[in-house]
Structure 1
């Protein structure tokens, strides 16, 4: 065994005491019944991993994966420092859509005091690596509690590859270190004793391939969550396409460098920077891109870090300089980094945040990506109709459950109907529908759907059916 490997092993053993097992009681979010009818909640218990994070002067804060604590009701942690004792923790915040899959929890003040009293040594706080990304082939150790083991597990491997982010996803490191269910949320550390990233996922049916969320993204998320903000990254605010030599005469470019702006989203970053359709973005903050949107330079030679990765690591609100080509002339502009404007149809994975109305024998909810996916299990044709609505600027209301013997059932309303009008008034929200229902107690309500289907419902003043 080489000196370097011995050093990494020793470091991992020391860092191991800062890794905890997380015990969760909550609701199983993937259950289709719960998505379509939030009044149905399927309880479950599961475990994951996390680690005490060194951040400023905070004590008792633990980083883990968002999927470990999402839809939790009770969260406890245990540590090798305190035998089999469990300690209550509370969720500070999490990335609901799991991009990236990061959450921050903390021991309550009372439990932190108890933890320190029982611990056989002081808490080992793990520090996030800053600066450049690890190199391909760099040795790491992944630490966690896989498969519900009661003692932390250390697996060795290397950074084997990198997966670039996209408009919707964040960058990932690829490793051959074993990452298994339950190991999620633990750290991957290097021989300097720094956290390279957060163990996030294993690829099913693939051998020796696991994914790590980079520490640079974890740090941004922590900062957001400590400020009690919804964690978001800066976005480009438009659609991009690859450049090509064929475009040289059209764009008046000497060679195909940079990416073409194919669409500018209203109220987004590119619009704020006064970038127009068919402009060619050459660089952001002096980081240049080739025609594929990949970073040009030393890091780009070994990495496919792209324009989305660069943009996401700019703190929201920070001024950004863009160099671009328009009509053959290179220009420079500036704008403050911002997230993309929110569309009407969003992701809503938290059961506790799924608002709904139970009226006329139906469950009606704001349409979300989770509902679209769940509807596919029952009616692929209804899902296709819903997918047409994704770019809507306004929210939409969907019928996600129908009770047998109800008014809706008698009129044979199908699952997945999208309601657009009530008593000939356009509606987009549950509040608007509730208001019309309240105004017509003892009367009737005419509902109209996006496809023209109508329903004429009688309101019982003493119930919602």
Structure 2
């Protein structure tokens, strides 16, 4: 009987340690509270300032010339608020592209009250994701959110939306995951409602760019929109799409126009290679998809963000040693980064299509009689080239290539590099014709084979 009493007493001690010690557990501290405490230090309030310079009409130009410097219209300023979340301890954060698009100044305020200016590092209008970098002292560290595993979602699970609604500072709303994204991503379409997570957690103006987290305190999405026609319907970009976008836009190419030619899987530690571009420095060095990068020039790599930063900081034409694991076996690759302009330039466009192009300048646009400089001017067409066969002529302006704006010669050349011989590119053109003292401009479309 004595033995049974001792066992029961021991069980009671195990079950009620707080009660025996005189400490009552706080019933309010549930999983949601603990998740918020874990993530809130990584949430930032974003304030942007955009200077809007208005185009003056001819009458205004006359007043400007006559009264200058007394007649001046100051550019108007637009201010907006949003949210973001820190994803790396060195101060990199993610928000929506629409929150910071066109902003001339970006500032963030942390949960502890500290304020910093930010630089825009990389953006994707298609997925509505932007990466910012906090301007901070060397060595200063920040609390970063942890990524959830892509696809690790349960319909009906509790989710928490954190952010800065209506500019009221850090706040939290609670709901459930009502729906996952409903369709596979399309290469040429911007992401929309069918690609997003749906939640009934309140997402209001100012919440955009803030984190949607699970009860483990892991990032499962980036708040993006609220459906105004209904109640309790908010949307977030799924973590899978966020990580894919980070992998696409946070590269040596996008950061410093240095050609590396491999993409890493975001969110993995140590980082691994997602894909390798044919003919790139990475492929020539022997790098392959699935390789796990452990060290760069002897320095351990913890994340793909750190790896890309170290690649960029090495600079062009400098020896880089990558230690990696392939199938569990240790290997080494050596390579150098190449300035993109040395490869993706007018010569590449000429070699693939048979045309010489140059950026459209203000002077050329004014002479032609158009107001926009968005496009590439064709300055020469090779005889018997694919471009000549498609009817392209000197003086035509390429405004789009395969549905993408043709405003950047580098981007156009990079797009053509990915095309195989015999594949077709679709061009949107402005066709200029001189008729006496007048120049006519008409839109046109052309299909050109790549050689």
Q: TM-score, normalised by structure 2?
A: 0.49
Q: TM-score, normalised by structure 1?
A: 0.47
Whose Rg is larger?
A: 2
